[in-house]
Amino acid sequence: MTTTDTEPDRPAHNIRILIVDDDPLVLELLGISINSFGFKPVAANNGREAIALLQKEEFELVITDMMMPEIDGMQLLEHVKKNYPRTDVIVVTGYTGTFSYMDVIRAGASDFISKPFNTDELEAKINRIIREHQLVKKLEHLSNCDPLTELYNRRYFDQKIKEELHRAQRQNYPLFLIMLDVDNFKSYNDRHGHQRGDLLLMAVGAILHKCTRADVDLVFRHGGDEFSVVTPHITREQVAMVGERIIKSFSDSSFDNTGLSLGIAEFTPINGYREEDVLALINRADAAMYQAKATGRNRMVFAPTIEAAV
């Protein structure tokens, strides 16, 4: 499982803060201060540079001057809140008469600091925002994860599959969906009891963790003995190897008279991404999984490839 946008307590040295000011001295002082707090500053000399950096990298926080040429701090603030709503913004300005505290708060800023800034005040406000951000992530982590297997849950799958398909279409890279469930799970549960059944499901979760790529693939438990993997940036041959590793690892676990049936479908956007592509991909992977069961179980089957329109 990857937990790129729900993992709590990210180490401070990994927290990236974008600082924006057209005054090189202020930019340098901000950078030195933020680095001393244990965070990683990334500098932009103006609003245009900041927007370009935001498109390429992910930031927990933006600290911006208000009075800048071309794109001022208020315009940058509006851009961040519209396009990166999870990124907080602190406004720093010496022109307190131009924009009031309430002006920037109403526009979506998390806080406001006047120049010349006090480092203790700056550190306190950054730490407050980071703590709040991490608390939100913890709550999201709890709501998005299955407590038994520690995989993402079905509700989060419904959200992420749409985002991942849209991103794959927009950036033009391959993506596969693996649907799987445990063969003869009900019989195993009836024979050995629910506690042993839970141990089996936890073993499946651990195997999926081990056989997939951290920070790339997304692994879900849909409920019962049903699981899925969303795996981008991968070829058909590579995803077949992943499927083989999953099946072999489970077979080696020696849960008697059980196995895993996998159905694999490739996302092929036709005429661009459409909402109906999500359900179509799930149905194709699901049908392939049931074909794997019908043809002997404990195997994987690829759904037929859909040819993209030219």
pLDDT of residue 158: 94
Name all domains of the chain by residue range, CATH numbers in brackets.
12-143 (3.40.50.2300), 154-302 (3.30.70.270)
**Candidate list 21, 88, 146, 225, residue with the active-site label:** 225
> How remote is the C-alpha of 53 from its chain's centroid?
19
Residues of the chain with pLDDT under 50: 1-8, 308-310
pLDDT of residue 11: 53
Its sign, for the CA torsion 201, 205, 210, 212, is: positive
Query: What strands lie across the sheet with 16-20, from one edge to the other?
Result: 40-44, 16-20, 61-65, 88-93, 111-114
Q: Is 225 a catalytic residue?
A: yes
Cβ neighbors of 22 (< 8 A, separation 6 or more) are 45, 46, 65, 68, 69
pLDDT of residue 198: 96
Which of 184, 186, 183, 166 minimizes the C-alpha distance to 175? Answer: 166
pLDDT of residue 8: 43
pLDDT of residue 225: 96
Q: CB-based burial of residue 131 (10 Å sphere; 0-12 exposed, 13-18 middle, 19+ buried)? A: exposed
Helix, strand, or coil (residue 182):
strand
Using CA atoms, how far residue 255 sits from 40, 135, 287, in Å, is 47, 39, 25
pLDDT of residue 3: 41
Which of 307, 286, 277, 18 minimizes the C-alpha distance to 170? Answer: 277
pLDDT of residue 310: 32
Buried b (16+ CB within 10 A) or exposed e, 91-113: bbbeeeeebeeeebeebebbbbb
Which of 292, 301, 303 minimizes the C-alpha distance to 183? Answer: 292
pLDDT of residue 5: 41
pLDDT of residue 308: 43
Q: What is the DSSP string of 95-133?
A: -TTTS-HHHHHHTT-SEEEESSPPHHHHHHHHHHHHHHH
| 109: Cα within 13 Å, side-chain hemisphere | 26
The whole-angstrom separation of Cα 66 and Cα 184 is 63
Which of 209, 220, 83, 85 minimizes the C-alpha distance to 164? Answer: 220
